[in-house]
Structure 1
Amino acid sequence: MEDLNKTQLILLTLLVSFVTSIATGIITVSLLQEAPANVTQTINRVVEKTIERVVPAEGTGERVKEVTVVVKEEDLVIDAIGKNSKAVVRIKDNALIDGVSPFYGLGFLVNKDGIITSAYRETLNPGSTYTATFADGAVFTIKVVHQDGPSGLVFFRILTGSKVNLPVSPVAVAETEPKLGQTVITIEGEGKDIVAIGRVTSFGYVDEAQKQVFRINSDILPKSLAVGGPLVNLSGEVVGVRISGLTSDGSESFISLTALKQGLTNVPK
């Protein structure tokens, strides 16, 4: 080191700094790749821009100020769950088996007419009445009004006479199907709400042209055996209904938004 002149020392310092920065970058990328999915998802953030308009005193004109607001994905997940969990019901068959009402599955209130959507199971008894219990403990008698064979959906109606005094508001149904890679949330669980977060991994199509989606596949691993729960996006909109079938790697599948909307059109008024 004593033999180096001033210029050589500066160049050596720059070389050491450059090598150190490359090594730091490689280590950081390696650590992120090895981190669990839930850790890397926590790092994700959604940025939204809002426009705040400030109107000063008369004659000075209007000034528009743009403010950038950073919203955590975690907050969107919590909000989406809160918007839908109250409309989720646990469904039991009123036909007793050994003195017990067997659990059928989950469902959710889909419109103001008292229609509850769930997934078809082989244990479905169209001639029986069922009990739907909301999150707040409100209990209603429901009956099958439509079984949509092609989609695998079942629609129940709350039996309360000509007017339905609903304990909660229906879910908000999305306008369009989710996109590949989009974050989605499922609400499931027989005795209590269990939530899982994942991403859309692929679609199943009705036609070879792949224009009409009938299945949504995800990387969500099942947390319970209960079917019929909603699949929602980060905006809190329902985009699918959970079914019993799984993907080849054991992840959950869902009846598509398109199938849900088509099934609703066939429900008798």
Structure 2
Amino acid sequence: MEDLTKHQIILLFILVSIVVSFTTAILTAALFNQEPESVTQTIQRVVEKAVGDGKETVHVVTDEQRVIDVVGEVSPAVVSIIATKDLPVVGECMVSPFGNDDFFGQFFPELRVPQLCERGKEKRQISSGSGFFVRPDGLLVTNRHVVNDTDAEYTVIVNDGRRLKATVLARDPLQDMALVKVSGKDFPFIKIGDSKNLLAGQRVIAIGNALGEFQNTVSVGIISGLRRTIVASGEELHQLIQTDAAINPGNSGGPLLDLSGTVIGINTAVASGAENIGFALPSSIASKDINDVEKFGRIIYPFLGVRYEIVDRQLKEEKKLFVDYGALVISNQGSVAVTPGSPAEKAGIKEGDIILDFGGERIGRDNTLAEAIARRQVGQTISVKILRAEREETLQVVLVERKF
């Protein structure tokens, strides 16, 4: 009986092993042959679980749907801005070829020749662009070049077709940015976001009044570059967001949005002769300008008072310098290195100094001195680390308001 029991135990063990092995094989095969879940860059899942009945509802949200939703939300806040001006009406007039010369006129009193002459004036549209509300009280952001003519009159055409007289509150003296105001309240507006943490490859939406058609147009793309510098309309623009979202001339002043519908930039330029390259000013500039106008009644910038060249490896070798970064304080023909009476002169900065650090920020090609200064406040005291004759020194400088 004892031997039989052992035999049964052995058989039972073998049987269990077979069953376990067979089951494991089936499960393994099922797992390896399972269809993989489709995952793409354009689909995200939002899962909402019903608390009561334990059911699970899955909503699949695509980038396309996000764009549609954002456009629907923000379009009422995007406007057209048109500039009009009294311009002379020129027509053809018949005049005497002798002018006021009575001697010849008396012999040919009926002789007349055609000549262009002014026949009064009429109000005409001279330009158009885009803008968007950032406050319910009628405050708008646009590009400076959209409202740059101080003699023109400006009209805002809102989403429902109404035409509102607009006043230019401030024009940014350094950036292609301006603030405009219309009378009224409860306007739809768009939230200004933080442009400091943007990433290349991030999806963006550009909205504006493309080509002056007075209706919002939409283009979608990605951020293809950051901190770009270009020359547009004769001025140098810095810290720009580069995007392949189509930006047309009429889109100027419209918002560049992320997929949450927050403003991260202001459309400002398109690269001439290049396809799919547009640029936008970072939204941080708009935030600064709004704060300045609310606090000072104007847009202000801090001033240091030096002329400089950014130090890199090439300049280091050319000038026989000791470092390959920083800002070399240097004059050129017609420009002094340090402005007399400026904060820089008062702090002791001299020609030939290399500004290595400004307020804790390392200065170089990726962070110029002008950019570091622009992030500071008028009246602020800044520690400036310089290199002078192979020796580092730290100076204290008090920034003043820049005069334009």
TM-score (norm 2): 0.47
Aligned to 1:258: 284
| Residues 1:171 and 2:190 aligned together | yes
% identical equivalent positions = 22
Superposition pairs for residues 44-123 of structure 1, below 5 Å? 44-55=41-52, 67-97=57-87, 99=122, 100-121=124-145
User: Are residues 92 and 49 of structure 1, via their aligned partners in 2, closer, same or farther at CA, if it must alter by over 3 Å?
Assistant: closer
What displacement does 1:49 show?
Answer: 3.2
What displacement does 1:197 show?
Answer: 0.8
Equivalent position amino acid for 1:139 in 2: R
CA RMSD across the alignment: 2.7
Alpha-carbon contact 2:142-2:177 (below 8 Å) kept: yes
Greater relative CO, 1 or 2 (CA 8 Å, sep 6+) = 1
Alpha-carbon contact 2:221-2:245 (below 8 Å) kept: yes
Distance 1:202 1:252 in 2: 10
Summarize deviations over 1:196-220 as a string: whole Å, max 9, x none: 11100111179xxxxxx83110122
User: Are residues 72 and 78 of structure 1, via their aligned partners in 2, closer, same or farther at CA, if it must alter by over 3 Å?
Assistant: same
What displacement does 1:248 show?
Answer: 8.4
Alpha-carbon contact 1:205-1:215 (below 8 Å) kept: yes
| Residues 1:184 and 2:204 aligned together | yes
User: Are residues 139 and 67 of structure 1, via their aligned partners in 2, closer, same or farther at CA, if it must alter by over 3 Å?
Assistant: same
What displacement does 1:55 show?
Answer: 4.3
Superposition pairs for residues 119-134 of structure 1, below 5 Å? 119-121=143-145, 124-126=148-150, 128-134=152-158
Alpha-carbon contact 1:146-1:155 (below 8 Å) kept: yes
Summarize deviations over 1:113-152 as a string: whole Å, max 9, x none: 3111101218612354310001211211111111122332
Distance 2:247 2:273 in 1: 13
Aligned to 1:195: 218
Alpha-carbon contact 2:130-2:250 (below 8 Å) kept: no
Distance 1:123 1:144 in 2: 7
What displacement does 1:104 show?
Answer: 3.0
Alpha-carbon contact 1:44-1:72 (below 8 Å) kept: no
Alpha-carbon contact 2:206-2:247 (below 8 Å) kept: no
Distance 2:246 2:52 in 1: 52
Q: Structure 2: give runs of 5+ residues left out of the alignment.
A: 1-39, 89-121, 230-237, 298-404
What secondary structure sits across from 2:87 in the alignment?
coil
Alpha-carbon contact 2:128-2:250 (below 8 Å) kept: no
What displacement does 1:95 show?
Answer: 2.1
Distance 1:139 1:131 in 2: 6
User: Are residues 248 and 255 of structure 1, via their aligned partners in 2, closer, same or farther at CA, if it must alter by over 3 Å?
Assistant: farther
